[in-house]
Amino acid sequence: MAYFLNNLFIVILPICITVIVTLAITVIFKTSYTTNFAQGVISAFGAYVAAKCLNSAGLSIWLAVPIGAVAAMAIAIFVDVVIFRRGRYVNGLGKQIITMGLISIIVGATPLIFGAQTPKFGKFVEGNQSFTVGGEQVTVTNNALVCLGITIAIVVLIFVLLRYSKWGLSVRATASNEYVAEMVGINTHIVTAISWGLAGALGAFAAAMAASNSTEISHVYIMTNYQVNAFLAGILGGFATFYGPVVAAILIPLASSLITWFGNTVGIPSLSGWAMVIVYALSLIAIFFKPQGLFGKRTVKKV
């Protein structure tokens, strides 16, 4: 039991990061109809800015991370306003390739701006919480708990905004049909710009969490694995809804952790290496049988 709980607590942070990245990718997918491959590097850029504030200016992490988020937000809005708005009628594949061009730009620009060495990054809160379950020690880091709190706050806030605010209504309208939304008087330019800004800021928070886990930003591709998981979560949950991808984003790291736990309990410790392979394979099988995703809606296509 204690071992199970320990395993569960380790996976809290990956779940938080995946959920936030998935939310960012879903928001952009719904308003701009493209998968943003640059999400990871834009997030990493935000984390670099935060690390710069942390190391050079000596700010507290609670101030540095929001500054990084603002920087990532500025980049994301710039991308939407300057590049995507002009290429509005570039097809879906073209948009994807533009985002991948952005990867090259940011990967090239980051060492120019921040220097070549890997920046140090602090934890949000130091220390552990430990308690005993059935005579065994169970430990969870305060950092993970704080990140969990931040994530829950962000997710709840965004879902409330989407459901009840005017902005949420216009996002949902744009997501369902951009042209009709324009016709009924929604300024889709502003909606997409805000969505990109939101995605950038969310990404920066996620990257800060990822960096706080390993005490440094190891490289600019720090978010790539989470981003790949987030794409898969989007497909698995179905991009048709906002909650589907988020649920899938919780499921993917959780399933991997459960497989590791199962392997150790049954006596096959080598299963932990295969955990991600099994999770991806299961997801692909699920998608193959439900192409709309677990929570997707079937759409009827006209010929």
Partner 1 sequence: MKGYLLKNYGLNKSPLAPSRLTLGLKRVIKNPMYYFIIFGIIMLIIGNLSVKKVLPYSLSTGLATTFAYSIASVGFCLLMGYSGLASLGTGGFIGIGTYSIYYVMTVANLPFIFALVAAVGIAVVIGAIVGFISLRIEGIYLCILTLGLSEILRNLFVVLQDTIISSKFYLFGNSVQRSSGIFIVTVALVIVMIITQNIINSPTGRAMLAMKNSTSAAQAMGVSLMKYRLTAFIICTVYASLTGIMLMIVIRAAQASNSAGFYALITSLNILAAVIIGGYRSVWGAVFGTFIMYGLQTVLLSRVQFFVDNPVVITFISGILVILVVMFYPGGAAQLVREAKNGIKKLIRKIKECRYGKDI
Is 96 an interacting residue with respect to partner 1 (CB under 8 A)?
Answer: yes
Evaluate whether 110 touches 48 at the Cβ level (below 8 Å). yes
Min CB(41)–partner 1 separation in Å: 10
CB closer to partner 1 out of 186 and 246? 246
Query: What residues are paired with 120 via a beta bridge?
Result: 216
Is 93 an interacting residue with respect to partner 1 (CB under 8 A)?
Answer: yes
Is 146 an interacting residue with respect to partner 1 (CB under 8 A)?
Answer: no
Evaluate whether 23 touches 273 at the Cβ level (below 8 Å). no
Q: Alpha-carbon distance 146 to 209, whole Å?
A: 10
Min CB(235)–partner 1 separation in Å: 5
Is 59 an interacting residue with respect to partner 1 (CB under 8 A)?
Answer: no
Min CB(253)–partner 1 separation in Å: 14
Is 269 an interacting residue with respect to partner 1 (CB under 8 A)?
Answer: no
Nearest to 46 by CA among 18, 21, 9, 71: 71
Is 73 an interacting residue with respect to partner 1 (CB under 8 A)?
Answer: no
Q: Alpha-carbon distance 105 to 38, whole Å?
A: 10
Q: Alpha-carbon distance 141 to 127, whole Å?
A: 6
Site for partner 1 in 202-261 (CB under 8 A): 219, 221, 224-225, 228, 231-232, 234-235
Q: How far is CA 221 from CA 170, 224, 244, in A?
A: 33, 5, 26
Using CB under 8 A as the criterion, which residues of the chain lie in contact with partner 1 when the complex forms? 34-35, 37, 83, 86-87, 90, 92-94, 96-98, 100-112, 219, 221, 224-225, 228, 231-232, 234-235, 273-274, 276-277, 280-281, 283-284, 287-288, 291, 303
